[in-house]
Amino acid sequence: MSTAVEVTDSTFEQDVLESALPVLVDFWAPWCGPCRMVAPVVEEIAQQYDGQIKVVKLNTDENPQVASKYGIRSIPTLMIFKGGQRVDMVVGAVPKSTLANTLEKYL
């Protein structure tokens, strides 16, 4: 079973930008209520699309470099990267169906 992996400022390029698979990045922080609401959805997505996409989490408090590079102003923000490029994003705690529909476009 695949689960969301933590990435950091130092591993982001290797884990996300250089990934052969599309990557869903969950930008979150421990103090953020909606982030906790969306976390189980992100885990379900990781399991449902195991082998098709890579799912990672980035704590914006601990990794401000990447967060500021991508202009993260509100969390949770879920970004989809493909071939090293940001191709889509969803802001806020969204239902699983919304996230799945957005991801399907990039598989």
Catalytic residue among 4, 25, 35, 94: 35
Cα distance between residue 19 and residue 83, in whole Å: 7
- Whether 1 is catalytic is no
Establish whether 35 is a catalytic residue.
yes
Tokens standing for 17?
A: 């930008």
Q: Residue 83, Cβ neighbours under 10 Å: how many?
A: 11
Active-site pick, 7, 24, 32, 94: 32
Q: Buried b / exposed e across 15-49, counting CB within 10 Å, b at 16+?
A: bbeebeebbbbbbbbeebeebeebbebbbebbeeb
Interhelix angle for 96-104 vs 33-48, to 10°?
50
Catalytically annotated residues: 32, 35
